[in-house]
Chain A
Amino acid sequence: MYQSNRMWASASFVGVLIIIGMPLWWKTTEVYRVSLPYEKISSFKPLSHFVTTELKVLANDDATASKIVSEIQKAFAESDIIKIKIEKTVMSERQQHILRSVVDMEKAVEELASTLDLDQENIFHVVQKKSLSHNIWVGNERIMFFDDEKASETIVKALDGWIYQTSVLRGSRSDTPDQARSTRFPPESAYHITLSIVHPRPDTMKVVWNAAEAVEDYIGSFVDELSSLHNFTLKSQWLHLLDFDFQAREVKEVSEWGRHFAVRQDRLSLLLTRLEERAATHVSELSTINLALYIVPCDKAPIIIYDNEGRKNPLSIQAFMSPKWGGVVIASPPAEQCSQQVREFEPSVGQIMGAFVSHLRELLGITKKDAIEGAHLEPSRSVSPRRWEVDALLRIRTLEQVTSAERTLQSLAQLLEEISNIVINDEVGASIAAAVSELEAGAGEGAGADAARAGRAHAHAQRAFTHPGLLALLYFPDDQKYAIYIPLFLPIMFPVVLSLRILLLWFMGKPVHKEKTD
C-alpha cells in the first residue's frame, strides 16, 4: 500500500538523520581526548603524605638512651608529616673514650666518623657527650651532641626546629604557601644562576672583579653540595652604563665621606625592573636565579638602605633579596678611592659573595635557623651548606614535589571536567600516565630513595599541565558552535522528530489517522 511506502520513507529519514547522522556528527566533532586515569587521580590525597627518616641515639648507658628515645617518640608520635625510625645504642668503650678525651667538637666529630657512618643520607645521630657548655651542640655533620638526659627537651626542640623543620615541611605540603615556600624557587630539575655586575660609570672608575672566578669559587662550591637536588649552570655578565636613580636622600654624618645616601627599601624593587630590561634572563630555557652586584658611582656613594620604618641597615653590607627572583648587593667604593684621580675599586669578594650565598640559601630553600635556648649551633665556616640542611632540603623538596604533582593532576582533571573543549593529545596523555605511575610507585614513602621519583612525577605533571596542545580548541566555545548548527539542524530535525509519533503508531499496528477509520 501507499501508506506503508510513506511510512518506510519516513523511517528512512529517521534512519539517515537520527540513527546514522547524529552519531556521525557527534563522533566527528568530538574533542580528542586520550583516556585518563581519573579515578586514580581523584583518589590522591595530597595532605596525607609524610616523610620518613632515621635517627640513631647513642648514649653512655642504656637508661639515658631509653629516656631520650621515649621523649623523642612522644614528641613526634602524633606528627602526621614525619615518621622517625629511632634506634638506640649504647656506645662502645672506644667511642666513649674518644668523646671523653677530645675536647674540640669538630675534632670529636671527625674522630667519631671512623666508628659511625655519617655519610649516609637521611640518617641523623644524637650522641651523648658529657660536660658540654650548652645542653646540645649541632655542627656541620649529621650529628648532635647532648650533655645528659636533662637535655631531652632541648633535643626535641632542636630536632623539630632545625633538623626536621616540621613547620617548613607542613608549609610545603599545605594548600597555601608559607613564608619559606613563597621565598624559595619552585622545584625544578635545573637552574641557571646569573651574576650581573652593574657598572653604571665605567668611564670614571675602574672595577677590579673577576666575575667568572668569584662565581665558580663561591657559588660553585655552594651549589656542588646541592647537586643531588638540582643541576646548576653558573653564568656572569657585565652590564655597563645601566644607571638607576635611587632617589636617595643625603644624610650628613661624621665619617670619611661626611655623608651617606639613604635609600628607602620600597624604592629598591624598581631597581629590579631596571635590571630585568638588560639582564636578558628570558633567553635561557630554565628559570634563572639572578644575582646582581650594583657598583655605586663615587658621586652617589655610600648608599645605605633604610627599612620602611626608617631604620638604618645595621650591617656593613648593603644587600637585599627578592623572593623567587634573586639577590642584589649594592657596593659603594671607599672614600679614599673616590678622592683619587685614577679610581680603582676592588670590591671585597668574600663579603659580597658571602651575601649572595646567604641569599641563595633562602632562594633554594634552606631556611634561617632561629635560636633555641640551651642549644648551640656552630656557625658555618665555609660557604657550603651543612650536611643535615641538605637532608632537610631533600625531604622538603620531595614532599613539595609529590604534593604539587598530585595537586597539578587534580586541577587538570577538574579543568577537563569543567571545560569540555580542552584537547588531551597523546603526548599529554603519556605525561599524565607517567606522573600517575611514578606517584603510585613512590606514594608517601618519604625522602631518600624516591626523591628522584618525586622529581620525575613533578616534571611529568608540570609538562602535562603547561603543554600548549591543551589550548588548541579553547577559542571555539560551545555556544558559538551551536550558533552555526542550530539554523541548519532545527528546520531539518523538526519534521523528522514530529514524524516519529506516527511512525511508532504505525509500527505498533495502531491506526495512524483517525479520519481514515471513517
Chain B
Amino acid sequence: MFNSKNFLFFIAVFIETIFNANGDLFNEELFIKPLPPAHLYTYFQFTTLVNDNLSSEHTYLAPRSLVEVLTRFQVDELHFTLTEGQWRHNHWGYPVLDAAPGAELYAWFSSDVENVDTQWKKLSSTLAGLFCASLNFIEDFNTITPQMALQPTGAIPQNPNITSQLRYASLPREIVCTENLTPWKKLLPCESSRGLSALLNSRMIHNTNYHSIGVHTRKVCSSSDCSVVSLEIKQTVALVYDSKIIRTTDWSFTKLFGQGLPGGCPLASSSKVYVDITTNDTQPFLLSPEPEKVLLSQRGGSETKLALYTIKPENKMTTIGAKYISKKDLVLMKLPPLYFNRYVLGYGKEFGGIVTELTNTFWSSIDVVVLQNAPWWLPIQLSSLRINGEASSEMVLARHYSPGRSRQKPYHLELLLRLPPKSATKITIDFEFVFLKWQEYPPDANHGFYVGSAIITANLPTARNYTSLPGTASLFESSINASKPWYPAVFRTNGVMVSLPTPDFSMPYNVICLACTVVALAFGPLHNICTKELVLKVVGSSVTLKQKIINLFKKKKE
C-alpha cells in the first residue's frame, strides 16, 4: 500500500518534469452549457503555451507549421475562424469566442513589418494552403483596417499606430467542412488519437446547428514585468447541438460525438470538462457520472454553477451525460444585456439599405463600437446614415468612415455609440446596387451576395450570459470568479444577403452567335450589291449549253 502511493507521487513529479524540461504547456478544456429549451453549447479549447522563446525553429508541443508561418510573416497576433451557422445572441447568450459566419481572419503584424499589405496577402495565401480554405480570395478589395473595433488581446509593445499593423478580412461565403477540420486537428500535439480532440468526429460535429473552428495566437507575458513574452496558440471548436437533430434533450458524449472519451491527452498538463449546471434549478437534470466537484462562480453579480470532471490520460473510455427529469416546464431565458439584429431594406434593383438594430436591456448605458464593412459593389453613403431616423445623433461619440473604391477597396464605417439604458437603436445606411462585369459574378450568382457581419465591440457592465475568458488569461478555468469592472466582448452580427442585378449568363454567348450569323448572312448580299451589276438578258440571244439545261427543267415544271 505504501509503495503504490509512493509510486503515484513519483509519477506526478515525473510528469511535471517532462513539461518543465521542454518548456511548452498544453491544456485541453471542454465547456458544456445547455441552452434551454432545445440547444446545447459545447466549447473545446486547446491551449499551447510555447515557453521556449529562444528560437521558433525548434518546437516541442506547438505545431511547427503554424509557428513557422507566424515567424516568417512576423505576425504578433492572429485570429482565424471558420464558421457555419449563426449564433443567436438573444436566445443563447454569449459564446466564449464569437465568430463571423464563413471565414474570418485578422492579424496584427510586428512593427518591424514595413509593407503590411504584401505580408498580409502572403499570410492569407499560406494559411489558405494550411487550412484548405479559400483564404487566397482575400485581396485588397475585401481587406479593411479597423480603427476602433479590434484591439490586440496579447502583449504587444505600446504603439500609437497599432491599427496600421492590423488587417481584417472576412469571406462570408466560405463553406466549412471536413477538409478544414483535418488540417486543424493536425496542429494539436495529440492530433485526434487521444484526449478531448478524439471527440471531434467530423461526421457528428458537422451535424449541428452552429459550428465554428478557430485558431488564435498571441503573445503573452511570461514574466511579471512583461520583458519576456511567449507565444500562446489557442485552438477552439464551438458547437451548438439542436435537440431536434439529435432527437432528444438528454445528451451524452456518445450521442453528441458518436463515441466516448478515450482518456486525456498524455501530453496535456490538464484535461478538464466543465458542465454549466446553473439551469439545473429550473430544468432539473441528472449528470452521470457524478461530477468530481461543483464550482460556484460569482462573476459581476451573476452566479454560475459548474460541474468539474478531470480526465486522466490513463482513464478508460469515459462518457459524460445528462438526463432531464421533467421536460414540461417552459423556461424563459433572461435576455443578455446587449443584442442585435441586422437586415436589408428596400425593393427593386436600384437602391437598398442595411439596418443594424442594437438593443440595450441593461439599466445603464453601454458604449459600443459598430463596424460595418461593405464590399465595393455595395456602396454605402455616409450622407444616408441615420440613427433612429435622425441624421445627427448625440449617441455618436466618434466616427470613422473610409469610402470604398471600385474593385480596390471596401467601404468601411465605424461608429462609437453610447446606447442609452433600456433602449433600442436602429442604424440605417443606404446603398446603391452596382452592375458587375460578367466575370466578376460568383458561381450561382442568383443565390445572392453575402455581406460580411458587422463587428460590435462592447464593454459590458455585467457578466450576465457572459462566458468569455478574462483578457490576460489563457485557460477557461480562470474565468471562474473573475469579477472585473467591465467585461470586454467582440460580437458579430448575422450576415446579410443582397441580390444584385444578375444578368442572364447565356446572353453574351447568344449575342456572339446571333451577331456572327447576321453579319455572315448580311455580308454576302451587301457585297454583291456593291460590286455586281444587274444586267438584263436580251431575249433570243444565243443560248449557252448551261442555259439550255436550265430551260429544260423549267419546262418540265410547267
Contact = CB atoms under 8 A, between A and B. Distances in A.
A133 to B, nearest CB: 46
Contacts of A215: 58
Interface of A: 2-3, 6-7, 9-10, 13, 194, 202-203, 206, 208, 211-212, 215, 233-238, 240-243, 277-278, 280, 282-284, 341-342, 487-488, 491-492, 495-496, 499
Of the candidates A9, A240, A243, A284, the one having the most CB atoms from chain B within 10 angstroms of its own CB is A240
A212 B58 contact: yes
A278 B266 contact: no
Nearest to A277: B186
Interface stretch (B62-70, B319-327, B338-346): B62-70
A9 B530 contact: yes
B57 interface: yes
B516 interface: yes
B523 A495 contact: yes
Given A283-B130, A342-B14, A492 B61 contact: no
Interface string B9-52: 01100100010010000000000000000000000000000001
Interface stretch (B133-141, B190-198, B300-308): B190-198
Contact of A283 (B57, B69, B266, B267): B69
A3 B528 CA distance: 13
A240 B520 contact: no
Contacts of A6: 530-533
21 contacts: A3-B533, A10-B530, A203-B266, A235-B68, A236-B57, A237-B64, A238-B61, A240-B190, A240-B191, A240-B266, A241-B191, A241-B194, A277-B186, A280-B64, A280-B186, A283-B64, A487-B516, A488-B516, A491-B524, A492-B523, A496-B527
Contact of A203 (B21, B65, B314, B519): B314
Contacts of A488: 516, 519-520
A161 to B, nearest CB: 38
Nearest to B67: A237
A99 to B, nearest CB: 46
B101 interface: no
Interface in B176-228: 186, 189-191, 193-194
Contact of B530 (A13, A203, A342): A13
Contacts of A492: 519-520, 523
A233 B57 contact: yes
B252 interface: no
Contact of B191 (A194, A278, A342): A278
A247 B83 CA distance: 41
Contact of A280 (B63, B528, B533): B63
A237 B22 CA distance: 12
Nearest to B544: A515
Contacts of B193: 241, 243
A13 B516 contact: no
B439 interface: no
B21 to A, nearest CB: 8
A203 B64 contact: no
A206 B18 CA distance: 8
Given A240-B266, A341-B7, 4 more contacts: A13-B530, A234-B57, A236-B59, A240-B61
A240 B532 contact: no
Contacts of A202: 266-267
Contacts of A342: 10-11, 14
Nearest to A206: B18
Given A203-B313, A342-B14, A487-B520, A238 B59 contact: yes
Nearest to B59: A237
Contacts of A237: 58-60, 64
B64 A235 contact: yes
Contacts of B64: 194, 235, 237, 280, 283
B289 interface: no
A475 B160 CA distance: 50
Contact of A495 (B52, B313, B314, B527): B527
B13 to A, nearest CB: 10
Interface residues of B, number: 44
B547 interface: no
Contact of B129 (A7, A211, A282): A282
B68 A283 contact: yes
Nearest to A490: B520
B468 interface: no
Nearest to B52: A212
A236 B58 contact: yes
Contacts of B530: 6, 9-10, 13
Given A203-B266, A203-B313, A203-B314, A495 B18 contact: no
A502 to B, nearest CB: 8
Given A202-B267, A203-B313, A280-B63, A499 B55 contact: no
Contacts of A487: 516, 520
Nearest to B58: A212
A154 to B, nearest CB: 46
B361 to A, nearest CB: 47
Contacts of B318: none
B259 interface: no
Interface string B96-138: 0000000000000000000000000000001001100000000
Given A211-B58, A212-B58, A495 B524 contact: yes
User: Across chains A and B, which 8 residue pairs bring their CB atoms closest together, nearest first?
Assistant: A203-B266, A280-B65, A212-B58, A491-B520, A237-B64, A10-B531, A9-B530, A235-B57
A283 B126 contact: yes
Contacts of B531: 6-7, 9-10, 13, 499
Contacts of B186: 277-278, 280
A56 to B, nearest CB: 42
Contact of B14 (A194, A206, A243, A278): A206
Contacts of A203: 194, 266, 313-314
Nearest to A342: B14
A283 B59 contact: no
A499 B523 CA distance: 14
Contacts of B524: 491, 495
Contacts of A277: 186
Nearest to A488: B516
B399 to A, nearest CB: 41
B527 A13 contact: yes
A495 B69 CA distance: 65
Interface string B53-88: 011011111011100110000000000000000000
Nearest to A203: B266
B417 to A, nearest CB: 42
Nearest to B538: A518
Nearest to A503: B531
A2 B61 contact: no
